[in-house]
Amino acid sequence: MRVLIVEDEDAIAEPLAEGLRRDGFQVERAATGAAALEASDPDVVLLDLRLPDIDGIDVCRRLRERSDVPIIVVTARGEEADRVVGLELGADDYVVKPFGLRELIARIRAVTRRGPGRDRTRVLRAGELEVDVRARRARVAERELELTPKEFDLLAALARDPGAAVTRRRLLEEVWDTAWYGSAKTIDVHIAALRRKLGDPNLIETVRGVGFRLRS
């Protein structure tokens, strides 16, 4: 998942970017509103309201005019009026500084799950695999896969970025809404079932000590 951080303060942006990368996110940073508007399309935007060139509220409005990308406003401006304006202009959520990284990641997961964003509407493809997120259908070489709800969610999580290693923690948070690691090895059981149903166990590769990736 590609995250665009729009934040002019290095002391905030750099540790935030590092923390997100550790959790498996791809991160791009823009220090100005102009740079944010010129950035390549991300999967979610973390937008500060206090920017040196363009007010963050205006950046939010202009982003929403051209895209349905999920936007989380992250700012020290916690007054109710600011929150209302940001949400009315199209922001999906609002986080006031200081905030915890785990809380922010949970909010990112929430807005990308519920929102009408790009990742939720398009068909995801990796070779002969096709995953239609809206219809909740998956096919390999035109063969329909009979998947349980969790198997489908797990496959979609991997298919959103083919070739990228996805951590176990990220899969637990995105598919099971938890960071708990149980002795039953829930992820491994579902991965094994997916490999059988895909017909080629090598389509899902194990990244030792990290998690899994879908072969691109």
Mean pLDDT (the chain) is: 84
Tokens of 212: 């899994």
DSSP reduced 3-state for 207: strand
Report whether 42 contacts 4 (CB < 8 A): yes
122-214 matches 2-117 in CATH topology: no
The answer to whether residue 104 scores a pLDDT higher than 60 is yes
Helical residues (DSSP H) of 7-117, grouped into ranges: 10-22, 33-38, 56-66, 80-88, 101-114
* First and final C-alpha spacing in the chain: 15
pTM, two decimals, is 0.56
- Domain 122-214: which CATH number of 3.40.50.720, 1.10.10.10, 3.40.50.300, 3.30.70.1380: 1.10.10.10
At 198 the pLDDT is: 94
Under the banding of pLDDT at 50, 70 and 90, the label for residue 54 is very high
Q: What is the pLDDT of residues 156-205, one digit of tens each?
A: 999 988 898 988 888 887 787 655 544 347 788 889 999 999 999 899 99
pLDDT average, residue stretch 21-43: 93
Strand pairing report for 26-30 and 137-140: unpaired
pLDDT average, residue stretch 47-52: 91
At 118 the pLDDT is: 43
The answer to whether residue 47 scores a pLDDT higher than 90 is yes
At 195 the pLDDT is: 94
At 177 the pLDDT is: 63
Q: What is the pLDDT of residues 108-155, one digit of tens each?
A: 887 776 544 444 446 888 889 999 887 788 999 889 999 888 889 899
Strand pairing report for 211-214 and 204-207: antiparallel
Strand pairing report for 71-75 and 93-96: parallel
Domain ranges of the chain: 2-117, 122-214
Give the architecture-level CATH label for domain 2-117: 3-Layer(aba) Sandwich (3.40)
